[in-house]
Amino acid sequence: MDAAVRPREAGTSPLGKGSPHVLIAGAGIGGLTAALALLKLGFDVDLYEQAHELKEVGAGLNLSANGNRALHALGVLDDLKPLACDLAGKEIRLWNTGQTWKLFDLGAMSVERYGFPYLAAYRPDLLGVLANAVRREKADAIHLNSSCVGFTQEDGRVTLKLKGGGEVSGDALIGADGVHSKIRQALFGDDKPEFTGIMAWRATVPMLRLPKRMARMVSINWLGSGAHVVHYPVRRGEMMNFIGSVERDDWKTESWTTRGTAEECANDYKGWHEDVHLMIRNAPSLFKWALLGRSPMDRWTVGRVSLLGDACHPTLPYLGQGAMMAIEDGFVLARCFEQHSGDVGTALARYEDARRDRTRRVVTGSAENAKRFHNPALASQDGAQAYVDREWSEDRIKQRYEWLFTYDVTAVAR
Ligand SMILES: Cc1cc2nc3c(=O)[nH]c(=O)nc-3n(C[C@H](O)[C@H](O)[C@H](O)COP(=O)(O)OP(=O)(O)OC[C@H]3O[C@@H](n4cnc5c(N)ncnc54)[C@H](O)[C@@H]3O)c2cc1C
- State which residues form the domain around 396: 21-191+295-411
Check pLDDT > 80 for residue 17.
Answer: no
Segment 306-335, tens digit of pLDDT = 999 999 999 999 999 999 999 999 999 999
Residue nearest to atom 3 of ligand 1 (CA): 317
- Give the confidence band of 2 by pLDDT, cuts at 50, 70, 90: very low
For ligand 1, whether the C-beta of 27 sits within 6 Å is yes
pLDDT score recorded for residue 158: 97
Neighbouring CB atoms inside 10 A of 189's CB total 8
- Place 75 in a pLDDT band, splitting at 50, 70 and 90: very high
Site to probe by mutation for ligand 1, drawn from 46, 53, 177 as the one with most ligand atoms within 8 Å of Cβ, is: 177
pLDDT per residue as tens digits for the range 135-171:
999 999 999 999 999 999 998 999 999 999 999 999 9
Asked if 407 and 362 count as a contact pair (C-beta separation under 8 A), the reply is no
CA 306, 158, 302, 180 torsion: positive or negative?
positive
Mutate to test the pocket of ligand 1, among 24, 46, 50 (most ligand atoms within 8 A of CB): 50
Q: Residue 69 falls within a domain, yes or no?
A: yes
Which of the four pLDDT bands, split at 50, 70 and 90, describes residue 5? very low
Give the pLDDT band of residue 342 (cuts 50, 70, 90): confident
Whether residue 247 is contained in a domain is answered as: no
pLDDT of the residue at 58: 66
Catalytic entry in 114, 232, 387, 401: 232
- Is position 226 within any domain? no
How many structural domains is the chain composed of?
1
Beta strands in 187-282 (DSSP E): 194-206, 218-223, 227-234, 239-247, 259-260
CA distance 141 to 42: 13
Domain assignment present for 54? yes
Look up residue 325 and give its amino acid.
M
Q: Are strands 21-25 and 172-175 parallel, antiparallel or unpaired?
A: parallel
Percent pLDDT > 90 in the chain is 75
* Mean of pLDDT values over 51-78: 92
Report whether residue 362 contacts ligand 1, using a CB cutoff of 6 Å. no
Distance CA 260, CA 32 (A): 30
Atom of ligand 1 nearest to the CA of 256: 53
Residue 402 lies in a domain: yes
In a domain, 396, yes or no: yes
CATH number of the CATH domain containing 362? 3.50.50.60
Higher pLDDT among residues 238 and 387, named by residue: 238
What is the reported pLDDT for 391?
Answer: 86
Position 130 in a domain? yes
Could you tell me the distance, in angstroms and rounded to a whole number, from the CA of residue 9 to the centre of ligand 1? 29
For the residues of 85-121, what is the DSSP string, one character each?
A: EE--EEEEEETTT--EEEEEE-THHHHHHHSS--EEE
| The CA-based dihedral angle spanning residues 162, 164, 169, 171, taken in that order and rounded to the nearest 10 degrees | 10
Q: Is 232 a catalytic residue?
A: yes
Residue 262 lies in a domain: no
Element (H or E) spanning 399, and its range?
helix 394-405
